[in-house]
Structure 1
C-alpha cells in the first residue's frame, strides 16, 4: 500500500520472485516530492514490470494521488487497473481494513478488486 508500491518499483531487478503483485494506492510523484522526508525515496523508480502479473488498485479522490494513479503508474506500466469509486487512499479510515475483494483476488487472480463490501 502507498509507499510500498514505490519500494516495489525502486527494487527493480532485486525484487523478490513473484507470480503476481497487487499495487495499492501509490502516492503521486508531486506529493512525494513535496514531503522532504520521503522525496528521495521516490527517485530512481524502475518503471518496468517484466514477468510479473501486476495489478494497480486505486481509489478516486485520493489526496495522496489527486491526479489518479492510473496517470503516473497504470498507463506508463501497462498495468491492469481497478478503480475503487469513492475509495480515497484506501485506508481503514475510509472503510478498507479487512477487504474481502482482495482475499478473493488472492484466491483467483481474475477477480476484480471492488469496494469494501
Structure 2
C-alpha cells in the first residue's frame, strides 16, 4: 500500500505521549495522519478510548492504518474484538505495557484488563524493546503471537519514548515502511 492511499490514525498511550515523542513528530510528517484525541489521557476509560478509536476509523474516508504506542496498543487489541467489517488495513503496535503481570505499570491502566488474546482482524507489526520497564520481551512475544502480529525486537530501547531517547525514531519509520509494503489497499 502506498502512503498516499491511507489515513493514519496515531494513537498515543497514557498521558498523550508528550511533546517531542516520535508519534507527534510522525503526525507532522505524514500528510494523511491525525492524532486521535482521547477525552482523558491520564485517567482513561477503556470503553471511551475504544469508542473514540472506532469513531475515528468510521470517519476516515480511505483505508486506515493504526499507529499505536503503549496503552493504545492494548486499546487496539480491544478495538479488534469489536470490529466486524472494517477499513483498517493494518496496525503498527509499539511498546505494549504488560498491564496484567508488571507491577510497575500505572494503576490507571487497569480499566483495560484483561488483555484480549484473539487474533487481530488485520495485519500488524508489534515492536518491543528488551529493556522496556513496562513489558518483558517474552510477554511482548506472547502478545504478538496471540494477535497474529509480525514481531520486531528493537534492542535496548526502553519504552521507545522520549525518556528512552526516541524523539524522531528513524528506525521506527523503516519498520513502519516494511509494514506498509505488506498491506493491500
TM-score in same-fold range (> 0.5): yes
Deviation at 1:102, TM superposition (A): 2.9
Tell me the residue number matched to 2:110: 39
Select which of 101, 105, 113 maps to 2:171: 101
Structure 1 unmatched ranges of 5 or more: 112-117
Does structure 2 retain, via aligned residues, the 8 Å contact 1:47–1:76? Answer: yes
Does structure 1 retain, via aligned residues, the 8 Å contact 2:123–2:148? Answer: no
Select which of 9, 13, 24 maps to 2:82: 13
Structure 2 unmatched ranges of 5 or more: 1-68
* Residues 1-117 of structure 1 mapped to structure 2, 5 A cutoff: 1-11=69-79, 12-14=81-83, 17-28=87-98, 29-31=100-102, 35-43=106-114, 45=116, 47-50=118-121, 52-68=122-138, 69-71=140-142, 73-109=143-179
Q: Which runs of 4+ in 1 moved over 6 A?
A: none
Q: Per the alignment, in what secondary structure is the counterpart of residue 91 of structure 2? A: strand
Greater gyration radius: 2
Root-mean-square deviation over aligned CA pairs: 2.7
Does structure 2 retain, via aligned residues, the 8 Å contact 1:33–1:42? Answer: no
Q: Per the alignment, in what secondary structure is the counterpart of residue 39 of structure 1? A: helix
Tell which deviates more after alignment, 16-25 or 83-92: 16-25
Q: Judging by fraction of residues, say which structure has more helix.
A: 2
Question: TM-score, normalization: structure 1?
Answer: 0.75
Deviation at 1:45, TM superposition (A): 2.4
